[in-house]
Structure 1
Amino acid sequence: MKTAKSVGRPLLFLSGTLLVATFILIVTHLVIATYDRDYLASYARHIMTRGLEVADESGKIVSKVNAIRDETCSDKFLDEIRYLSFTSVFISDIGYIRDHQLKCTAMRGRLPEPVTMSVPDAITRYGQRIWTSFSGIVDPRITADMMESKNVLLFPTPAAFRDIYVPYNGFGAVLINHRHDHVFRLFGDTAGLVRDVNEMQGFAWWHKARFTECSKRYDICVMARNTQIGLFSLSATATVFIILAALAAGGMFTFALLQYISNTRSLQNKLRMAISRDDIYINYQPFVDIDTGRVIGYEALARWKEVNGDNIPPDVFIKLAESTHQIKALTRSVVKRTLTEIAPLLRENNALFVSINITTADVTEADFRVFLEEEVDKSRLHRKQIVLEITERSTADHRLLKESLARLRDYGYRIALDDFGTGYSNLDYLSKLSFDFIKIDKIFTDSVGSQSVSFKMLKMMLEMLAQTGATIIVEGIEEQHQADFFLKEYPRIVGQGWFYGRPVDIDKITS
């Protein structure tokens, strides 16, 4: 029979995969749709720009024709309008109307019989009259669009918009007047376009794009629509590929997330078991008086090896203990095991001490002080042989911390400030709290021999800390040149690092 856990994990994986894939598809659709909308707007504005160019040229021609002083439709008049027609870009012919009759055009000259103009198909808001597909001028087989303004009849060239192609299926645009009752030009799929652009609502924005813009100088508007945007604009092959890619990405992300959650929870539970079973063991790294080479104490360093033999780095399981509220239990486990293991060595030599890392929460907690007193009494050690290390990266209230540290020092314990130079407080800590030992972080030791800012800071810190009266401990001394530098320049400090001894278990120290 399947358990709830065996069924639940595949279900979580499937749900997570679909959820992430859906999110990826939505984002992909929106990104492509945004591009499509921008492209539609650019396309529509290109049409509008061309419409404005035709209107501008038409207006200039009308003004120039009306400025001709020669008799209308005379030979000189025809020569002038032929020149204007020949040099224009968007106008193929120019005519002159009087008393609603077309008298002459640049291309046809004086008409044998004037052509009476019919009722225009539209009149713009600025008074221009427009005919669409007008026929009957000279040859009934020829139809043309025409616009009349101030007695000047203009024949726009059919090629004026020929270079504006329709990008792909779904695109459509119209060049129309402000009242939307007369269309100048159509582009692409325009079925129901005006209605769609005016009335588009609901979820239409999800798969359609629309654009509209009107000129303030001319009775011209452009209305554009794309009925296939985003994923809807892609081919079936491309859409299937994107869906499969989204599912694959969703599956990988969900698998990684479930693995992370599983590992974190598993590691959290393993840490809880390790603490309860006292499986957190201790390595001890010596503190050395670099002037004499004598070991003066040891730092207790928590270590954790899983049952399968994997070593979990301290920065991993200590952070995990802090984030899962197991740090108090971990600290108590470390204190208890440390004092039990090293007590015989320290009882043999009262000058030696052991340094134990604790949190500021432990320092300020009365229960921890009671626990510490009981364990020290059991070990039969002097309080001065116990050094309690706290880090300056803590944001604990200084007043409460100062009172708690003072109480511990009254008991006889000594206090060390760890990782000096890397935390939040630096000088603020030293100005408000008293320490017996101050430990300089390894990042400054690594700079020895260089001309870096860190090396300059190291020398400044050593000079400054010498004035505090505290014993200075330099961490991370691993190379000969580092040890030589400190021995020559600062022989009164205490050194710690692989150069003087690696962290080892208690048996190797006692043997």
Structure 2
Amino acid sequence: MNTQMLMLTRKSLLHHSIVVLVVLGIIAVATIPVGLMTYVAEKRAQVREYEALSLYARRGLTRIEMVYNNARDALGQMQQLTAEPCSDEYMADMRRVSLMHRYVQDVVTLRDRDYLMCGAMLGRFAHQNRLGKPSWEGPHYRVWLHAYDIEDTGKPMLMIADDTHAVLLDPESLVDVVVEDPTLSLSVVGTGTNEIVASWHNARPDFILKGYKESGKRQADGVYYITVKSAQLPIAVVAGEPSINLLRHWYAALQIWLPVGVVLGLAIAAGLLMYIRSRSSLVGQLRYAIRRRQLQVHYQPIVDLATRRCIGAEALVRWPQARDVMVRPDVFVPLAEDNQLIQPLTDLVLDLVCKDMATLLQLRSDLYVSINLAAIDLSTDRFCAVLKRTLAACSIEPQRIAIEATERGFMHAQTAVGIIQQLRQMGHRVLIDDFGTGYSGLSYLQTFQVDVLKIDKSFIDTVGTEAATASVAPHIVEIGHSLHLKMIAEGVESEAQAAWLVAHGVQSGQGWLFGKPMPAQAFLDYLNNERQRTRHV
């Protein structure tokens, strides 16, 4: 009696421990969105400040390039003067050029490219001093970030020169930018010399140079620095903002995103509870459905893009529930993979395809149906034997059944190579499904010697757009052409996408533009209607 009571007590404790662990796990998962939204609020504030500070820096850079272009225009007008250099008439023309250009402090004429002869405001130099080494020298202009004080003003000037003339600029004009926030700072740094050319009064030189070298980081002075480099001059603009501004914006963003995190956490907790309750039974339901052959196969047409004629279909498994509700494949297929049900599922799909399409594939030698294999199906020759036996039983030629394998199926590369070679020797075409979304590349294609590439829908969606992945589809098409492989574009939903694919030499397409996945009888009706349309043309 005592022993039984002890066992019951232990079972009760174990049960309660599991319940406690589950509850703690749900609470932990529910708090993740709160932390995530806090992180999102911080990142949003950082992005906002980064964009605002970058815009501010670009305004400073625009100002610099405007001053630079003003100086270049002055040098260009100096080239057009015809009077004798440093004559009275020439000096008058120099002053006119200097006064006509807002940011030019003085114009100087050079002899032998490096010697000062005369200035518009300073007149003729008694001693024609030689210029020092420039901070930067390009094909047409030379730049001195700290020219020695020709005008004896007590501060160095910025000098830009060609072979015969030079203009002097006040460095402060480079940072003469109006902003609404007085806590911001703006500085100009020479990229070749790592020295400060000009800066606002509130900028700290040591931290400016650190901020220039480590753009996008907060320095020890509590200021967040952004660097934008000029494409024309050897200088960069360094804009700074105190971190307290970022903290203020983070608090504002947190008031929006934190409630979202709380609501999301509660929703996830509720969903997780429902999932835990249904997960244990869902595997059993799937096992029962496979054993009782309660799954269905729908067929999505594959068409020749040039003629719009259907040349085949992809077999897609569906799990119907009561009241015409379907369990999504992205739910039950991973469940089958995790619970040793994927091979029975693949066998069932093959049986259903033969049942649905045997007569069609016997009569129509121009059609085929493709079947998806899982990674485990490519790890042994088990499915090859099943495929051969099943097709022989229903009198379907191997050419009428194509095999689709995702890139995940190549994880066991050495075994997969042999299985793919065996399938092709049996007469089946092998297609790589969702190409570009996994780990394979050119070397994989050369190794496996497949027949067709299927370009994933995510890349077709970006065709003709400015998305970051818009260049992937053309690259995949180039790979296909270089290896002389046929290509099928998945997820084609618009005529514009179809036209792009035809223009780039993609032979076949699959997507809602041509037809959604449909039951067997609907697919047969689809083919019949297509044949009738063809006869009337």
2: CA distance, partners of 1:253 / 1:361: 32
Give per-residue Cα distances to partners, 1:211-235, cap 9 Å, x unaligned: xxxxxxxxxxxxxxxxxxxxxxxxx
Choose from 468, 476, 480 the match for 1:461: 476
Give 1:394 shift.
3.2
Give per-residue Cα distances to partners, 1:74-123, cap 9 Å, x unaligned: xxxxxxxxxxxxxxxxxxxxxxxxxxxxxxxxxxxxxxxxxxxxxxxxxx
Q: Which residue of 2 aligns with 1:338?
A: 353
1: CA distance, partners of 2:268 / 2:510: 44
1: CA distance, partners of 2:402 / 2:315: 10
Indicate yes or no: 2:428 matched with 1:413: yes
2: CA distance, partners of 1:298 / 1:267: 29
Distance 1:8 1:286, change over 3 A: farther
2: CA distance, partners of 1:302 / 1:328: 13
1:383-394 alignment, distance < 5 Å: 383-394=398-409
Asked whether the equivalents of residues 488 and 507 of structure 2 are also in contact (C-alpha less than 8 Å), the reply is: yes
1: CA distance, partners of 2:21 / 2:268: 8
Distance 1:431 1:261, change over 3 A: same
Give 1:351 shift.
1.4
Q: Which residue of 1 aligns with 2:319?
A: 304
Choose from 265, 284, 296 the match for 2:280: 265
Choose from 275, 278, 282 the match for 2:297: 282
1: CA distance, partners of 2:368 / 2:319: 23
Choose from 309, 312, 325 the match for 1:294: 309
Choose from 427, 449, 470 the match for 2:464: 449
Size of the aligned set, in residue pairs, is 279
Asked whether the equivalents of residues 271 and 317 of structure 1 are also in contact (C-alpha less than 8 Å), the reply is: yes
Indicate yes or no: 2:379 matched with 1:379: no
Q: Which residue of 2 aligns with 1:370?
A: 385
Give 1:388 shift.
0.6
Choose from 477, 495, 503 the match for 2:517: 503
2: CA distance, partners of 1:389 / 1:17: 42
1:52-451 alignment, distance < 5 Å: 259-451=274-466
Q: Which residue of 2 aligns with 1:494?
A: 508
* Partner SS, residue 413 of structure 1: coil
What percent of counterpart residues are identical? 32
Give 1:379 shift.
1.9
Equivalent residue letter for 2:443: D
2: CA distance, partners of 1:252 / 1:505: 35
Distance 1:257 1:443, change over 3 A: closer
Asked whether the equivalents of residues 401 and 428 of structure 2 are also in contact (C-alpha less than 8 Å), the reply is: yes
Distance 1:8 1:283, change over 3 A: farther
Give per-residue Cα distances to partners, 1:399-420, cap 9 Å, x unaligned: 2211111111111111111110
Give 1:362 shift.
1.2
Give 1:397 shift.
2.3
- Max radius of gyration: which structure? 1
2: CA distance, partners of 1:447 / 1:252: 32
Indicate yes or no: 2:20 matched with 1:16: yes
Asked whether the equivalents of residues 392 and 417 of structure 1 are also in contact (C-alpha less than 8 Å), the reply is: yes
Give per-residue Cα distances to partners, 1:147-172, cap 9 Å, x unaligned: xxxxxxxxxxxxxxxxxxxxxxxxxx
Equivalent residue letter for 1:420: F
Asked whether the equivalents of residues 471 and 493 of structure 1 are also in contact (C-alpha less than 8 Å), the reply is: yes
2: CA distance, partners of 1:419 / 1:383: 23
Q: Which residue of 2 aligns with 1:473?
A: 488
Distance 1:289 1:395, change over 3 A: closer
Equivalent residue letter for 1:389: E
Q: TM-score, normalised by structure 2?
A: 0.48
Asked whether the equivalents of residues 285 and 298 of structure 1 are also in contact (C-alpha less than 8 Å), the reply is: yes
Distance 1:16 1:409, change over 3 A: same
Query: Could you list the runs of 5+ residues in structure 2 that have no partner in the other structure?
Result: 1-7, 32-265, 526-537
1: CA distance, partners of 2:376 / 2:500: 37
Query: Could you list the runs of 5+ residues in structure 1 that have no partner in the other structure?
Result: 28-250
Equivalent residue letter for 2:459: F
Give 1:385 shift.
1.1
Q: TM-score, normalised by structure 1?
A: 0.50
Give 1:342 shift.
1.0
Asked whether the equivalents of residues 420 and 440 of structure 1 are also in contact (C-alpha less than 8 Å), the reply is: yes
Distance 1:259 1:349, change over 3 A: same
* Partner SS, residue 466 of structure 1: helix
Distance 1:374 1:456, change over 3 A: same
Give 1:480 shift.
1.9
